[in-house]
Amino acid sequence: MDDIVKQAMTKWPNVPDCFGWLGLDARGNWYLRDDRAQAAGAFQSGLADSKGALLTHEKLIDFIARNYQPDAQGQWFFQNGPQRVYVELQATPLIWRVQPDHTVKDHLGRDAEIQQTWLDEAGCLYLASTAGLGRVHTQDMGLAADAVELGLWQPQEVLQRDLPTRFGFVKSPQSLQKK
């Protein structure tokens, strides 16, 4: 976490959390979800206009990446100064990019050591590491298939709907606020 963020948290300790305004899609892209996008539907719904606006500003994306983490309940957030901005997840908290040597980096560019691999009913591949669970980026499935064929990964079957409970993450922190 950035030092400036830590300082802001100390200076303004009681800033309310923010829900629904930031989303991470299954390809590792960040989306800003204004009132209109939120009114169009849940981030995971696939409904037109519900994703919001794709973030492309590199310095903002880097800032989010440095300050992205889970809370004790498995809700992933971006610490924006004194405010926690909880993230709506289309798939998983991390998106893996498989490298030509079959090592992996998450969508934030961090290296990870894979501990387990899982394959769901739709053919999506998930990798578990000490950093958390992530889905393999669709463009990297060829490299992932090579890793499986080489015996580097031995995926076990899993149902997509079981992933959040099994791996302790929340896809929609915003939906928990409505309960």
Residues 59-92 pLDDT 10s: 999 999 999 999 999 999 999 988 999 999 999 9
pLDDT value at residue 13:
66
Domain ranges across the chain: 3-91+169-177, 94-163
Of 101, 100, 91, nearest to 127 (Cα)?
91
**52 contacts 148 by C-beta, under 8 angstroms:** no
CATH topology for 3-91+169-177 is duf1285 like fold (3.10.540)
pLDDT value at residue 14:
73
Task: Identify the three-state secondary structure at position 174.
Answer: helix
* Of the listed ranges 30-34, 46-50, 61-65, 147-151, the one predicted with least confidence: 46-50
The pTM is what? Answer: 0.90
pLDDT value at residue 16:
86
Residue 40 CB contacts under 8 Å (≥ 6 apart), including other chains:
47, 48, 49, 50
Binned at pLDDT 50, 70 and 90, residue 6 comes out as low
Burial of 95 per CB tally in 10 Å (0-12, 13-18, 19+) = buried
